[in-house]
Amino acid sequence: MKTDYKPIKPMKEIPDQLRKLRRQFLRYQQAEIVYSLSHKKLLELASDAGAIYRFDSTVLINREIFDAYLERFHEPARKITVEEVEDE
């Protein structure tokens, strides 16, 4: 019985591959999937963030700008007390 194993890639190649997968600019359809937002809400937030690039008939969203804008809405973790758990 012969088994063919794929060679293990060097660990330094993996981050390079991940970088290729994480694009800097996304089209609306891609961004809707990545951020799990509706088209209308994505358009509103990306416009407010100033992350939209338009040229010819192509519209792109800059992920770095959009991610930084979304971080403004991050809520810090809060401690839940026993009373709150019992009330639910």
- For residue 10, being part of any structural domain is answered with no
Residue 47 lies inside a defined structural domain of this protein = yes
User: The tokens of 45 are what?
Assistant: 């937030």
Write out the chain's pLDDT in tens, 88 residues: 566 766 666 666 666 666 656 778 999 888 998 899 999 999 999 999 999 999 999 999 999 999 999 999 988 888 877 776 676 6
Q: Are 61 and 31 in contact (CB under 8 A)?
A: yes
Where in the sequence is the domain holding 36, given as residue range(s)? 21-75
Q: What is the number of structural domains in the chain?
A: 1
50 found inside a domain: yes
Which residue bears the tokens 């999937």?
33
Q: Which of 20, 49, 44 is closest to 32 using CA atoms?
A: 44
* Residue 23 pLDDT: 78
